[in-house]
Amino acid sequence: MSTVNQSTWFEKGMSFAEYRASMSVNQEELGRVYEQLTFTEDDLAFWKELSGRNWKGVVLTADWCGDAALCVPVIQRIAEESSIELRFLIRDENLELMDQYLTNGTARAIPIFIFLDQDGNEACVWGPRSPEVQEMITAARATLPAADAPDFEEKQKQLYRTFKEKITTDPAIWRTVIESVKAKLTA
């Protein structure tokens, strides 16, 4: 377990309601996942057990991010069931923190969820996506033309639009996030 204390970042963050109200790009998708997500009895028992930890969390995110439109509402609902208060920070306004959590040591991929113990120290980190969603996007990207192809940008935008639609409407994909977060919080 890290001894990095992130309480200052938590205090700086927005509540979920404030973050949601500030959104202008993916508010509808985030809302759909948040409203339609359901948990199993096993999930609920797991979240209840977690609630005794007195954790809180810092989320690095951005409204334009399709992965955030999926993961933020799922993990917000988990947090609500687990008595974990999350605070939201916009990635590009908090690069000092973001650069501590680079994906593969290079990418400012979001969302990143930094779970803090009762003393404000990092307990675990999850993000930016479940392994299954990572496999899906990797496979989808493999279908794109070469980066220097004249239609690359258009095809890439279409791929991300289609992908965001799929991940924010398919409860089976939401389930992969739930299971991945459970595994991380169990470790």
Q: In terms of residue numbers, what domain contains 182? A: 6-186
- How much of the chain exceeds pLDDT 90, in percent? 94
Strands (E), 37-186: 56-61, 85-90, 112-116, 122-126
Q: What is the DSSP string of 25-60?
A: SSHHHHHHHHHH----HHHHHHHHHHGGG--EEEEE
Q: Reduced to 3 states, what is the DSSP secondary structure of residue 19?
A: helix
Residue 155 belongs to a domain: yes
Residue 17 lies in a domain: yes
Residue 1 lies in a domain: no
The number of folded domains in the chain is: 1
For residue range 67-95, list pLDDT tens digits in order.
999 999 999 999 999 999 999 999 999 99
| Mean of all residue pLDDT scores within the chain | 95
Inside any domain, residue 68 = yes
CATH number of residue 26's parent domain: 3.40.30.10
Confidence (pLDDT) at 167: 97
Query: Tens digit of pLDDT for each residue in 115-153?
Result: 999 999 999 999 999 999 999 999 999 999 999 999 999
Other CB atoms within a 10 A radius of the CB of residue 5 amount to 14
3-state secondary structure of 117: coil
Does residue 93 belong to any structural domain of this protein? yes
